[in-house]
A = this chain, B = another copy of it.
Amino acid sequence: MPQPRRRDPDRLLPADPHTRAIARGLYQRVAGAPIVSPHGHVPVEWLAEDQRFRNPADLLITHDHYVTRLLHAAGVDLERLGVGGAADPRAVWGLLAEHWHLFAGTASGYWMEEALDSVLGIEEEIGPRTANLIYDRMAARLAEPEFTPRALFDRFGIEVLATTDDPLADLAHHDGLRASGLRVIPTFRPDRYLDPDARDFRENVARLLAATEQPATFDGYLAALEERRQHFIEHGAVSADHGVEDPLTLDLAPEEAGRLFAGVLAGTADAHGRRAFRAHMLFQMARMSVADGLVMTVHAGVLRNHHTATFERFGADTGHDIPVRTDFVRGLRPLLERFGNADGFHLVLFAVDETVYSRELAPLAGFYRSVYIGAPWWFLDAPDAIGRFRAAVTETAGFFRGSGFIDDTRAFLSIPARHDTARRADASFLARYVAEGRIALGTAERIADELVGPLPKRVFKL
């Protein structure tokens, strides 16, 4: 007889009884607050079409590269998990169940349990013996009308959800959702049109120019980007997102930029030239954000597709994007020299190199008006990492120079758990400051309230 898990209502709160009591009170204030999700990767089609989820494995495993990577490391081939092809979903779930012990202590394991328990109401311990039982229950739940994407959107209490979209997307789905009362907004994500080393870069630029009927000049290219940004703004977008390995920016003279553009388009630019072009385009994105008001978010410091053979066979987002050291201070200086204090400009910096929190991000955000410290991201949106983040930035920059939590996920069922995790972690941090006599309880309460709604809404202009 599989034993039901019993979720500890005080989970993730600090062990010291006095601090825990304070943390519990702070958490309870915000536990039920609506979810503000200004950056994520849920496919808009899910909500627009509102079809039932295909099956539990497809929803919970196959497309979650946080989960597939650990199974891959344990020797499970990605194709057996349905990555890049079809696989029997029950067998896929069975593979996770068989390796479930590997997820103990991980964020992914925690979210999986939360999704099963809090969303699907399944309390049995995951494991080989319960694999079929749990699979059947999950499948049954997902067939119920209460478990369609929109029904869950309502049940999760999502106030606003941002998707991440290709600049050429027509965004009709977002319009449709708006018409039916769901605030699901697009995000402009132009990386593949800006980075000469992106796959199919030249074809992408050609499509961009064709779609906007712009000439193949640097000015035409900029105008095309501006036009598509405008299209996004008209369809509800509030931000433009940029994923870069290195947050380098360069303020080039127009002639130099034009020359580089011609080179990258002709495929003749060398590595140095391609890097300079990329850096100048990040600068240009800031210029456009200052002009059109889109919040600029930068997710920096990830070397994408580390294992080329896996990338070539299975594509991007298959578990081997690896963080690298990041230098925001020198890299962003040209951008910040020019736009760092520009009126209304919001620049949110996300890092996966924890060393930048106290050394770079908190000091930058403590001076530049545009700079907000992005919430812990990717591998770092987990309880301990969130605690380290808060400890690293608060003494320098306080609580009001942060972005508020973003879930950054495609794993729809985990969205409540991710926001709940952040709320518990922030309550725990605040409680320690109260217990140590550093802030008053009333102050902590006001901050806890701020962090889950007003703050991210201000930062993301929602």
Residues of A within 8 A of B (CB): 5, 7-8, 10-19, 69-70, 72-75, 101-107, 109-110, 303, 306-309, 319-325, 327, 329-330, 333, 336-337, 340-341, 352-355, 358-360, 362-369, 371, 379-380, 382-385, 388, 391, 394-401, 432-433, 435-440, 443, 446-447
A354 to chain B minimum Cβ distance, whole angstroms, is 6
Considering the complex, give the chain B residue whose CB is closest to the CB of A22: B15
A179 to chain B minimum Cβ distance, whole angstroms, is 36
Find chain B residues with CB under 8 A from A333 CB.
306
Separation of A107 and B104 alpha carbons in the complex (Å): 29
In the A-B complex, the 5 residue pairs with the smallest Cβ-Cβ separation, listed nearest first, are A8-B437, A11-B437, A382-B395, A15-B435, A105-B394
A379 and B363 form a contact (CB under 8 A): yes
Find chain B residues with CB under 8 A from A436 CB.
11-15, 383
* 22 A/B residue pairs, CB under 8 Å, sorted by A: A12-B438, A13-B436, A14-B436, A72-B367, A102-B398, A103-B398, A104-B443, A105-B394, A106-B395, A306-B367, A307-B336, A308-B337, A319-B367, A321-B363, A322-B360, A323-B360, A325-B359, A354-B355, A362-B379, A379-B395, A383-B395, A383-B436
Find chain B residues with CB under 8 A from A369 CB.
72-75
A353 to chain B minimum Cβ distance, whole angstroms, is 5
Separation of A394 and B380 alpha carbons in the complex (Å): 11
Separation of A448 and B270 alpha carbons in the complex (Å): 53
Separation of A438 and B105 alpha carbons in the complex (Å): 7
Separation of A323 and B319 alpha carbons in the complex (Å): 30
Separation of A280 and B41 alpha carbons in the complex (Å): 40
A395 and B385 form a contact (CB under 8 A): yes
Find chain B residues with CB under 8 A from A319 CB.
366-367
Find chain B residues with CB under 8 A from A439 CB.
104-105
A107 to chain B minimum Cβ distance, whole angstroms, is 5
